Amino acid sequence: MENPRTITLALTGASGMPYGIRLLEMLLQNGKQVYLLYSKVAQIVAQQEMSFTLPGSAKEAEAFFCRQFHTQEGQLRVFGREEWFAPVASGSNPADAMVVCPCTMGTLAAIAAGTSQSLIERAADVTLKENRQLIIVPREMPFSVIHLENMLKLARSGAVILPANPGFYHHPQTIQDMVDFVVARILDHLGVKHTLITRWGVEN
């Protein structure tokens, strides 16, 4: 995908919240319009893994991240779980791409089944039906046959399955280096320029 302008980012309750928050930071730094969605369990994981509280109110969350990442006015919009009048709920106004990072197996299964019972699921369904790019970043191990079949179903529907599996050929020195490896791969698939890691075959 060539330089998408508007990206929907969904945070769900799988372990791996640092990937999602770092991705949000990099998208905003690159001047992208971001629609942010997150599940109730994502709030628990954010507290456990990163020791910060995701506000329950969409407006409060929007103000929180705007302060944290010094965003331009209107660049970030946060929507509640049942905010059905959000742009992402309709194929008449879809984002250019969507990333679910981290993605629980429950969310993955719901997207694969097309249930659309929450705004996250509906936004993903819209993304697929409108032939926009959907990137799923599952964080689970091991995968059951059910998980794998759901991933295969989504891959056949056009989604990119990009597990949160950091590589080590770039000699990571910190946890942040490992987080950046995964985020860099997501940005590559979105067509967003970055300098998070040294690319394969390029000398430091």
139 annotated to a ligand binding site: yes
8 annotated to a ligand binding site: no
Reading the block at residue 153, the tokens are 């179903």
174 annotated to a ligand binding site: no
157 annotated to a ligand binding site: no
6 annotated to a ligand binding site: no
Q: Is the CB of residue 121 less than 8 Å from the CB of residue 82?
A: no
Q: What are phi and psi of 37, to 5 degrees?
A: -125, 145
Q: DSSP of 180-192, one letter per residue?
A: HHHHHHHHHHHT-
13 annotated to a ligand binding site: yes
185 annotated to a ligand binding site: yes
104 annotated to a ligand binding site: yes
How many C-beta atoms lie closer than 10 Å to residue 51's C-beta?
Answer: 7
Residues 162, 50: Cα–Cα separation, whole Å: 22
14 annotated to a ligand binding site: yes
Residues 195, 15: Cα–Cα separation, whole Å: 25
Binding-site sequence positions for dimethylallyl phosphate = 169, 185
Binding residues for FMN, as ranges, are 13-15, 39, 104-107, 139
Binding site membership: which residues?
Answer: 13-15, 39, 104-107, 139, 169, 185
